[in-house]
């Protein structure tokens, strides 16, 4: 069974910020290539959604996977959908961010 993949508004904002950062530091073409690859990596979760590490210690149902060892992708899986909750680049404190979202 194939799952759907949905991006939370916060994850889309984080992808846009990542794009802007890479575009400024390198080039828009490199930024587009990298962020497109991150999105494709997320979309691959539709065929094998339970990959990565389960992190219930941060948030119930949370799973974490990495893209190229520099980007942390936080997501949750239900019966038919993978929800991308956050995309954290370059050592950002994903634990604190995801816990504070839960507290809000």
Asked if 3 and 49 count as a contact pair (C-beta separation under 8 A), the reply is: yes
What are the pLDDT digits (tens) for 30-78?
Answer: 999 999 999 999 999 999 999 999 999 999 999 999 999 899 999 999 9
pTM across the whole model: 0.90
User: With the CA atoms of 16, 69, 102 and 11 taken in that order, what torsion angle do they form, in degrees rounded to the nearest 10?
Assistant: 20
Of the pLDDT bands very low, low, confident and very high (cuts 50, 70, 90), residue 103 is low
Of the pLDDT bands very low, low, confident and very high (cuts 50, 70, 90), residue 102 is low
pLDDT of residue 54: 96
pLDDT of residue 18: 97
Of the pLDDT bands very low, low, confident and very high (cuts 50, 70, 90), residue 104 is low
Q: Which domains are present in the chain? A: 4-103 (3.30.2310.20)
What are the pLDDT digits (tens) for 38-49?
Answer: 999 999 999 999
- Quick check: 2 pLDDT over 80? yes
Q: In what order do the strands lie in the sheet with 53-54?
A: 4-7, 81-89, 71-77, 62-67, 53-54
């Amino acid at each position: 069974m194939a799952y759907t993949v949905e991006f939370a508004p916060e994850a889309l904002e984080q992808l846009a910020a990542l794009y802007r950062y890479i575009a400024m530091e390198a080039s828009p073409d490199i930024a587009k290539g990298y962020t497109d690859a991150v999105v494709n990596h997320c979309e691959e979760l539709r065929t094998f959604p339970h990959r990565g590490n389960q992190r219930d210690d941060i948030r119930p149902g949370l799973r974490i996977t990495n893209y190229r060892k520099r980007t942390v992708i936080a997501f949750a899986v239900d019966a038919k959908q993978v929800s991308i909750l956050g995309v954290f680049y370059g050592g950002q404190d994903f634990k604190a961010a995801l816990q504070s979202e839960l507290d809000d």
